[in-house]
Every structure is written in C-alpha cells, then in structure tokens.
Structure 1
C-alpha cells in the first residue's frame, strides 16, 4: 500500500471513529464513575505542586497493583477542565482513535505475515479490519464510560507493545537490527501496566503470535532454539506464579466472601458469558447491549441450565477449530487465541463480577481478524474492487449502529431509561433510572417522575439478589418527602445486608443512609441504629462500617463515647488508614475527651503519615479544634 494511500486510510479511520462516537461526548458520569472519580478527592488536581500530583498518582482508584498513569491522566483532565465529563470523554475518544491507528498498522503486518503461510487478503483488508474494531457498537460502553480510560489506555499500550514486538521479530527474521523495537515493546508493556493490569497478557499474545504466525523463526527463516527456550521459560514462569501465588490467594472461600457466588460457580459461568460476548460481537443488536449485567447468576452445576454445558462445548469446539486451522488459516487461529486470551484474566479465578462489556475491548479484534483469515482462500477474487464493498458495507452498518448508541449515551436520562427497559431484571439499572428521575422530581411528590422513580425502586427491591439498593432508595426518597417507610422495609433491608459479608457496594449504600440522616432527612433513627449495629456485629473485620456507625453516633445520637470507641476499633482494624486516626482525634477534641498529655504526640504522628498532602484538610480541622480547646481552657492569650 503506497504511503499516500496509507495516510488517507488512516485519516479516514480517524474521521469515521470521530463521527461515530461524537454524539456521546455530551453524556454524563454513571455507575463506577461516581465512587472512583466523582466522589474521590485525591485525583482532583488544581495546582502544579509535586505533592498534589503524587497524591493523584498513588491514591484513590488505584488497585493493589497500582494504576498511576490512569490517575495522572484523570488529574490532567481535572487541572485543565475541572469535573466536566465532556473533556474526559473526549480524552477517551482520542485514545481510542489512536488505538485504531495502531490496530490498522498491526493488521497490515499480520496480513503480510499470514500471506507467507497461507492464502490471505492483501493490505487493503487492514482498513476494514481496523474500522470494524474501531466502530463496533460494543466499544461504546468502554469509550464513553469515563472510568474505563484505564482499560482503553492499558489495552492500547498492549496493542502498541504487540506491534513493536512484531516489527522487531520481522526485522530479526530479516537479519536487520531489532533491539530498539524490542525495547520499545517492553516500554509500551510497562506503560500499559501503569494504566491497568490488563496489559499483563502481552507476553501471552506474543506467544500466540509465535505459535500461529512467526513459528519461532530467526534469521533466514531458520528455527531459533533460543527463542523457543525464552518463550518456554516465560510460559513456565507465568504458570508457576499462577500456581504458587494466584491460586492460594484467590481460590479460597475468603476471597469470594463478598460475592453471591463461589469459585466453582464463577468458573462455570464464564463459558456462557464468553459465548454471549461472541453473540454481541457477531450480531450487535443494541437491545442486547445491556451495560448492567448484575442479573446474571452463577450456575450451581453444568446441568441445569443446559446452556452452561452447551457453551463449554462451543468453546471447546472453537479451540479444536483453531488447532485444525493453525496451518491452513494461521491468522484465524491467532484471532481465536486473541479472543480467548483477551479474557484470560477476567474469566479466571479472580473474584470479579461475572460480566462487563469493556472486557471485550481488545478481544473484539479477534472477530474481524478471524473473518479475514477465513476469507484467505478467496484472496484473488477479493482483490477486485466490487467484492471489497461487502466489508465496507459491514463497516458502514457498524458505524451507523455505533452512532445511534453514542446518541443514546449522550443523553443521560434517555440512557438510564433505555438501559432499564432493556433489562428489567437488573437492580442496578432500575436504581440508576430511579435516581435520575428523582433528581428531576426532587421532593415534589406530585411530580409524575417522583412516582415513577419510587415504582422503579420497588421493582428493584423485589429481586432477591444483590445489595438492597431498591430498599435504600425508597427509604431516602420517602424520608426527604416526610413520609413514613412502609412496614417491613427496614427489616428487608437488614435481611439482605446480613445475608452475606458486607461488600463495597453495600458499604456505599449504608454510607448514603448515614449521610442522608446527618444532612437532615427524616430517617428513623432507631431503625438506622439497629441496621448499623447489626452490620457491625455481623462484620467484625470491617473498619468502614465502624466509621459509618461512629459518624452516626457522634452526629445523630450525640453519643461521643460510643463514637470514639467505634473509631478506636476502626484504627485497630485498619492501621494503614490514617484518615481513621484523624477521625478519632476530631471526635476526641470536639467532645473534649482527649488526653492533653498525648494529643501533641498524636497530631505529630498524624503529620508524619501525611504523605502527598492527603491529610491536609483533616489536620487543618484538628488544629482548629485544638485551638478552640486552648481558647476555652485559657491556655492562649
């Protein structure tokens, strides 16, 4: 493909992607955006001080592996445009468009390599491959979902690393210098890990590339034993880490205590979910793109339901087809491997939720690559202009569907309403639309949306799975309206919360109830206290619940001694959380129950824990309370 043609193709790819996703930039935050971004102060940089940027990089949404580059990118957005979802979504789209160009370049090289092994389409096919991946409707919920910047950038770096690796290996086979490209591949991989741990799979993708297309060939096309040994050592090392570190950490009942399913249920659920993903890729009917998948239940065995075993058979057959096609259509084999490996982390033993659409971001590339590989036998006829219109027509349909999905995502109220109607069995979808409708209606019980919101919450509460979001929403709505809760509603809330160890989502739910009461809504104090006391007794290791109960005891019950006792427990349970120590000091000083002989040392200890200024606001409040104490005691002039 001539340079001018490549440049025009790249420009066309960017324009197509921009047009398809542009209507969605007017949308808002949703779901995990709120706990991870909107409500988290740590990443919201407003100055250029080093402490502020260090705080942004190493606090907040970062996982146990760390996601500093993602957090720094969010911080940069906030520094320039504040907490505005539009520029954040535009940044996501920009990353996605760049990733599309990487996929275009990668596809060209994969096609060239495939033509060495078997019949395959020419360079022209790289554009529809990249375009189909770029504007597939399944990508909308990754590109326009702000917090999934982490997945976009991590997988983008994974693609860049794979491209650099392929260039390096091609040069190596041609006896040309390749070291710089190997270094670039390693750097891109490390950068991907800085965004999210999804990039861990890059070595697995490289191994699949070797097995399917590169065949471990060195200079002159000869088999390279050192290269075989290198990949073998890498594979064995990864397997050893999985067996020695990952399995003992996650294949336990404790790891799944917050879930409604166990390890066996999760593993048995994944074949059907992967087949569901394949269906969404092949036939991207917008009505089947649900975003919320909390209604899915883990099976208790292979039968029933029958599709659990059937899906496992389908995946097994797909693997057999890949093996059979390895020499006949190697690019299709690689495409199948790319899809399956793309889910190797999220469909494994980790106690993650069962399904999310964004997990398909990179794995989706397997579909157009696989189809192109299968059409390799028609390579000559496909070089004619007319047959090329078929993949372009498919791309046009995908772009049109994505444009419609983006328009939906650009209208927050329409989005939540549509997602709820698509999946009436989802507690989260019902809670989301009820929240949006209630935000419009406010406390006006005569507003038509007020009644509709309450009805959605009642429907959400009728489901027997998940946290009691419907019950909590009803309690808050009725309290703001000055209405009594229906008999038994509090008890149903407690029954659902006590059914299993508290999850982060359920902790957020109880936090909202406590915050609502502290801010003046008319919740029943005795019922809320009974709920908090029950949860604390049922979750003896939860520092978060003790902090919530302490805030309620101090601000509502006016019982500082109980609040201080609960905060002391929280400090003991989570000694690595300096904010709990700060809360304890605030309660002690505000109630004059501190020890004057040790308070200075305790404040100094807190200052020592104030890394990156994360406790600046807490220390300011404590200093103010201490100053008030000194003024009242007459120790200051």
Structure 2
C-alpha cells in the first residue's frame, strides 16, 4: 500500500505523539533548576541578559553554555505556563515531532525515496536513545538546535538543486528566489548555533551536502555554483563571527576546565581522540541495542598507542569506503559516505578535540543518529537493492513498534527525580548523582535520606563545595545549626568563590552574634557580586556591631545618596543606625 506524503506526515505526527505524550506528566529534574525554575532571567523574562550572559547566570552560576534561544523559549513557556512542567514537556514533544516531520521533507530532497525517508524519520522520532534529549525540560537544546539545523539544510539543499518553492495563500503567492534561500540558510544556521553550541558543526554538513550534489559534475562545480559557494562563505563567516562574539565580546569560554590539564586526557589530543574511538562503539551499541539506557556513564580513558577500538574503527572506515565506492560506481549515489560523515561531523564537538563536560552522553546522538540511518540506508541499498522493499515492509514495522514501547518505558524512568536518580545510581555510583538524589529527598522532606546521600557523594568525591552547601541547607531544615555552620564553612574553604554558601553562613553567624567572623564574609560577598541593597544593609549592621564606625558612616551616607527618593529604604537605613 502506497501512502501520499501528507498521509505519511500524519503518521509521523501520530508516532511522535504516541511515544512522548506520556512524558507530559513528568516533573522537573536533573539540571532544570539552574536552567529553568531557579533562573531569574527565565522567570523575569530578562531578554538583554539572556542574550549577553552565560545560560545559567540567572541562577547565579558560571558556565561555558551560551544558548540564548533555548533560554528564551523557556522564558516564553514560563510566561504561558508558569512553572508547571507540563507546558515545558509539551513544547519539547512538539519540537521533536516537528523536527521529525521536517527531516522527512529534507531526506526526500536529498534524493532518498519517500518510503525510506519515512522510515528514517519514524525511527528518529521513536528511537529510545532520543528519550534523554526530549523528556526532561532542559534537554530542549537538542531538539531546538536540530529543528533549525534541518530547516537550514533543507533551504540549502533547495539552493543547491536550484529548486525555488512557490507558496500560495489565498490570492497571495510567493516564490522563493536564490537570495531568499541564501538568507534563510544563514538565519537558520545562526538560530541553530544560538540554540546550542554544538550547532556550529552544522557548517560541516553544509559543505558535505554541497559536495554530494556536485560529485557527478566536479569539473563544473565552481563555475556553475557561484551562489552556493558564496553561501558557504557566508556560513563560514557566521561561524567565526559567533566564536569571536561569545569568546571575545561576551567572554564566555568554549570549554570548561573539567579535566586536569596535566592528566593524559587533559593534556593530549591523541588520548582524547583515541578515547573517542571507544565511545563510537558505545554509540553503535546504543543505536542497535537501546537497552538499559541511562545518564552518567563512565568511559575508560585509552592512554596507549594502539587499542582494539582504534583498530576496529580503522577497519570500519575501510569498510565504509569500500561500500561507498561500490554504491557510487553502480548507483551514482553516495548515501553511505554522506550518512557516515554526517554521523562523524555532528560528533566532532564532543569528540575531545576540545574537552567538554563529559565523555559520553546518549543525547549527543540526537542529530548524529540521522546520519547513521542514512548510512545504513546506503549500505542496505547497495548490498540488498532488490530486497530492500521487503526489508522495509516486514522488518521495520516490528522494530518501530518495539522502539515506541521502549521509549514509553524509558519516559517513565524520568517521571520524577527520586525514581530517576535511584535508577541511574544502579548503573553508576557518582558524587553528582548521589548529590542530586539527596536534593530530591530534601525537597520531598525526607531529610535523613538526603543527609545519607550527601555523605555518600562526599565519600565518592570530596571535591565539590556544592555538596557541602546542600548538606548545610538540609541540616538547617533539621535544626542542626552547628552541623550546618560547619558544612557551609567547608564549602567556602574548598572554594572561596562559592558565594551561594555565604548567605546562609552569614545568617547563622549573625544569629550567634559572631560579627567578627561574619565581617570578612560579607566583605568578600559584596566585592564579588552585583550591588544588592539588602546585602549592603546587612553589611552596614555588621560594621556597626564590630565598631567599624567610620566605614559604617561612609556606607550609610553612600546608601542614602542612592536611595534619596525611596523613603522605605531610607527608613531601613535609619533603623540600622539607630539600633546601633
């Protein structure tokens, strides 16, 4: 039975919704705190700060993330839904489904048959590996950057094929011209990068797509494709402009110092790329056998000249080259090479060339899996050309049904923080995961379980001040003031710039009238944070209590000059002065 494109799009819509609508009831978890519900830029719709500061600056933290469009989408969701998770999950699901539908259109324009394009898009939508990139709110960065990326590749493919779509809306008609397609391609590329940094790798796919359309006319490539080459030049300029803007103007680094620069992995690009060959085979396993998927994976660092992973990767490259050669020779297509290179290109940002905040994550496959499926289509078409329809007809529906069931099951694991962290800890005992589970217990009011898991996290890695800070907050809730004080002090000793611990520790010291201990803390806090009236009022009080009268009078005068028209603020200042 043959279906029209419209009917196939309708089926894709049903597949995507069937797989992910159950996730709408899921809670916030993982790092949704920093990115969404404790991010003041999201809650207050601070547009300028969203586009000029790192992504979690609104939560008072520093990072190498710069994803203003993703943050903006969270801010829009917050305007509509408040902090109801269902709205955020609905947006994620719709973005994922729309990306799959646009992918279907792109694949057809790339020359893949309608049926094969449908199955690739259906597997993209339903594969359990996508769960990590769809079902928790902050994972939106993957689907939104992929959405713009696929649109950019679509407009560029139309430009390369000199196909100019015409749109008719009532009596209004619009035909896209070359300049429109060029402009749209650049805009979509920029939107992709601003949604998630990994989108910058899309530049490689633009060049790859251009070559794929011109491989049979290589001699005329330059003379017949001036506008396409000009577009590639503008895309390259866009990429470099973005890097200069974020690194030099916004001063947001492209990488975090998460690895010791003197360690083999931190100091050697060969070790990092060698380790990446191991992760490649883990990714293949995730795709072919998506069972027991989970966050927070460990990966062996390969610090030796040769390994089995390097050897089998080189063998795979030779195999791909041979199949690609036969495909091009017999069928004049390059889907095998195109898909495999797509897969690799979109993994380049997380390959270790530049160290990032992890070695392997399932959601890093969100875009690369498309290339892998194109690669598999090319291999199957080359090796089993006459039987390909039967493979699609009988085998893939069963696989798709299994994927949908596994995805729905995987969605439930992400339903609430306690269930998610306990599940993940069964695979990997890490400090971060125990800390997150402890926070979930604390939020649920199970403080004793929270303390137990904070202590487990410290046993695993006594390195993170955040854990001591969180432990201190839980001790406060339990009324264990002395233990809370010690925890906050330990957090600050570990990192003098960990300012979230300053506030609660200062409050404890003030309640105990330990003003001399509170003074250096409040000074450091004020010198290293934005101006805050309440904090300065506390500082004023401490100055008087420690008999630093001259400094107190100077600060009081300064505060009064700043708030001359704010009678409430002036009254608060006078209250502190009179009290002392």
TM-score normalised per structure 2: 0.79
How far residue 82 of structure 1 moved from its aligned partner, in angstroms, is 1.3
Query: Is 1:377 the counterpart of 2:375 in the alignment?
Result: no
Greater displacement, 403-412 / 357-366? 403-412
Q: Distance in 2 between matches of 1:383 and 1:321?
A: 20
Q: Is the 8 A contact 2:491 2:498 kept in 1?
A: no
Q: Distance in 2 between matches of 1:384 and 1:355?
A: 35
Counterpart for residue 301 of structure 1:
303
SS of 2:348's equivalent in the other structure is coil
Q: Distance in 2 between matches of 1:434 and 1:588?
A: 33
2:530 aligns with one of 574, 578, 593: 578
Counterpart for residue 509 of structure 1:
467
Counterpart for residue 333 of structure 1:
337
Change beyond 3 A, Cα 1:387–1:592: closer
Q: Is the 8 A contact 2:64 2:253 kept in 1?
A: no
How far residue 426 of structure 1 moved from its aligned partner, in angstroms, is 3.6
Change beyond 3 A, Cα 1:256–1:220: closer
Q: Note the 1:557-568 alignment, pairs <5 A.
A: 557-568=512-523
Counterpart for residue 480 of structure 2:
522
Counterpart for residue 7 of structure 1:
6
Q: Is the 8 A contact 1:20 1:402 kept in 2?
A: yes
How far residue 221 of structure 1 moved from its aligned partner, in angstroms, is 7.2
* Residue deviations 1:566-592 (CA, integer Å, cap 9, x gap): 3333454x4xx415x556513223436
1:352 aligns with one of 333, 353, 357: 357
How far residue 17 of structure 1 moved from its aligned partner, in angstroms, is 0.9
Q: Distance in 2 between matches of 1:259 and 1:545?
A: 30
How far residue 19 of structure 1 moved from its aligned partner, in angstroms, is 0.5
Q: Is the 8 A contact 1:382 1:388 kept in 2?
A: no
Query: Is 1:145 the counterpart of 2:136 in the alignment?
Result: yes
Q: Note the 1:612-623 alignment, pairs <5 A.
A: none
* Residue deviations 1:317-364 (CA, integer Å, cap 9, x gap): 333444444443411111111111111112231342222221111011
SS of 1:171's equivalent in the other structure is coil
Change beyond 3 A, Cα 1:568–1:216: farther
Q: Is the 8 A contact 2:256 2:356 kept in 1?
A: no
Counterpart for residue 77 of structure 2:
77
How far residue 91 of structure 1 moved from its aligned partner, in angstroms, is 0.6
Query: Is 1:40 the counterpart of 2:35 in the alignment?
Result: no
Q: Note the 1:78-477 alignment, pairs <5 A.
A: 78-112=78-112, 122-171=113-162, 177-215=177-215, 224=224, 226=226, 256=259, 262-264=266-268, 266-285=272-291, 287=292, 289-293=293-297, 296=298, 299=301, 301-302=303-304, 309-329=307-327, 330-347=334-351, 348-377=353-382, 381-382=386-387, 384=389, 388-410=393-415, 412-421=417-426, 423-433=427-437, 436=440, 442=446, 460=457, 462-463=459-460, 466=461
Greater displacement, 347-356 / 97-106? 347-356
Change beyond 3 A, Cα 1:568–1:320: farther
Counterpart for residue 23 of structure 1:
22
* Residue deviations 1:500-529 (CA, integer Å, cap 9, x gap): xxxxxx24323324434555630535x844
Aligned pairs, how many? Answer: 543
Query: Is 1:551 the counterpart of 2:506 in the alignment?
Result: yes
Q: Distance in 2 between matches of 1:414 and 1:546?
A: 28
Counterpart for residue 589 of structure 1:
540
Counterpart for residue 484 of structure 1:
none
Change beyond 3 A, Cα 1:517–1:391: closer
Greater displacement, 358-367 / 382-391? 382-391
Q: Distance in 2 between matches of 1:536 and 1:234?
A: 45
Counterpart for residue 173 of structure 2:
none
* Residue deviations 1:435-454 (CA, integer Å, cap 9, x gap): 555665735x7xxxx5xx77
* Residue deviations 1:579-612 (CA, integer Å, cap 9, x gap): 5x556513223436353345454577799xxxxx
TM-score normalised per structure 1: 0.73
Q: Distance in 1 between matches of 2:70 and 2:38?
A: 17
Flag structure 1 segments of 5+ consecutive residues without an equivalent: 46-50, 113-121, 467-495, 498-505, 608-618
Greater displacement, 214-223 / 275-284? 214-223
Q: Distance in 2 between matches of 1:76 and 1:230?
A: 32
Q: Is the 8 A contact 2:258 2:357 kept in 1?
A: no
Q: Distance in 2 between matches of 1:42 and 1:238?
A: 26
Change beyond 3 A, Cα 1:171–1:562: same
SS of 2:41's equivalent in the other structure is coil
Greater displacement, 195-204 / 141-150? 195-204
* Residue deviations 1:132-174 (CA, integer Å, cap 9, x gap): 1111001011100101112210121112111111111111799
Q: Distance in 2 between matches of 1:241 and 1:312?
A: 34
* Residue deviations 1:16-37 (CA, integer Å, cap 9, x gap): 1100112222111111112322
How far residue 416 of structure 1 moved from its aligned partner, in angstroms, is 3.4
Q: Distance in 2 between matches of 1:240 and 1:81?
A: 35
Q: Is the 8 A contact 1:518 1:555 kept in 2?
A: no
Counterpart for residue 493 of structure 1:
none
Q: Distance in 2 between matches of 1:601 and 1:384?
A: 79
* Residue deviations 1:532-557 (CA, integer Å, cap 9, x gap): 556655646x2637835863564455
* Residue deviations 1:302-328 (CA, integer Å, cap 9, x gap): 27xxxx822233333333444444443
Counterpart for residue 330 of structure 2:
none
Change beyond 3 A, Cα 1:600–1:138: farther
* Residue deviations 1:188-244 (CA, integer Å, cap 9, x gap): 11222222222211211111223344439599878647566975897799799999x
Q: Is the 8 A contact 1:53 1:72 kept in 2?
A: yes
Q: Distance in 2 between matches of 1:528 and 1:632?
A: 25
Change beyond 3 A, Cα 1:385–1:270: closer
SS of 1:350's equivalent in the other structure is coil
How far residue 558 of structure 1 moved from its aligned partner, in angstroms, is 3.2
Q: Distance in 2 between matches of 1:342 and 1:160?
A: 16
